Amino acid sequence: MCPRCGSPAHAPTAWSSAWRCDVHGDIDPLTVRRPTRDGLDSLLKNARVAVLVPWPLPQGWLVSGFAGAGDERSGARGFAVALSGPNPLGGPADLLVVAEEPGVGLGAGLAGLPGPDPGDGFATGQPYATVRVANHEAPLWHVESGDAAVFAGEVAGSWLWVLLWPDTAGVMLLEPLQLRDLRHPEQDLDLPFGALSPRLPG
C-alpha cells in the first residue's frame, strides 16, 4: 500500500526499481503486520528508523499491530506501532507511534494530512507535550487534524508522530511519555498483544 493514502502500490518493473502509487508517484511501500512477535520480527530486521513503544505500557493497554514503510532494497524508512486501551476520559482509545525519515509520509497519511510532513506553521509556538527517547527529551507540537489528537516532533533526524483517537485521549500526553526502541534486542520486552488495530491502513 501507499503509506500516504493506503491505495494499492504497483511493484517495481523492468523499467523502474521503485514502488509507485497512482496518486503520489514513487513511494516506500507500506506493509501491515498483525500484533504478534513474528509480525514484529519480520519488520524489525529491515528497520532503518526507531521502532517506538511506550514502556511501561499504560494500565490496560495492549500492542495492536505494526506497519513498516519500505522494501528490501531501501529497508523500512518508516515504522508505526499501534496500541489500544482505555481512554482516561472514558471509552476505548487507539494510539499510533510513528517514526520515519523525512519524505516517507506515513505519519501525515495516518493523520489525514495532504503532504508528507506536518505542514506550514508547524513548531512555531510552544510545544504541547514531551516524550523521552533513550533518556533524551523530545518536544511535540500539536498538528491540526480531523477526529484524532495528532502531535509531531523530531528525534535523531526522523519525524516522530503520536496520534490518538478519539481526540480526548490526548490527555495521555499531559505527563511525559517514555518511549523504548524495540530494535534493541537486549531489552526483550514482554509485549502484551491484542486484536489488530482498525487505525492501521488496509
Mean pLDDT in residue range 23-44: 95
Do you know the residue count of the chain?
202
Cell numbers representing residue 187 in the block: 531489552
Peptide bond into 118 cis (omega under 30): no
Domain extents for the chain? 19-181
Nearest to 31, CA basis, from 73, 3, 61: 3
- What pTM was estimated for this model as a whole? 0.96
Has residue 185 got a pLDDT over 80? no
Distance CA 18, CA 23 (A): 14
**pLDDT, tens digit (0-9, with 9 covering 90-100), for 145-176:** 878 999 999 998 999 999 999 999 999 999 99
Has residue 20 got a pLDDT over 80? yes
**pLDDT, tens digit (0-9, with 9 covering 90-100), for 46-105:** 999 999 999 999 999 999 999 999 998 889 999 999 999 999 999 999 999 999 999 999
Mean pLDDT in residue range 121-125: 84
Positive or negative, the Cα torsion across 37, 101, 57, 92? negative
Q: Which amino acid is at 42?
A: S
Q: Decide: 82 and 94 in contact? Cβ < 8 Å.
A: yes
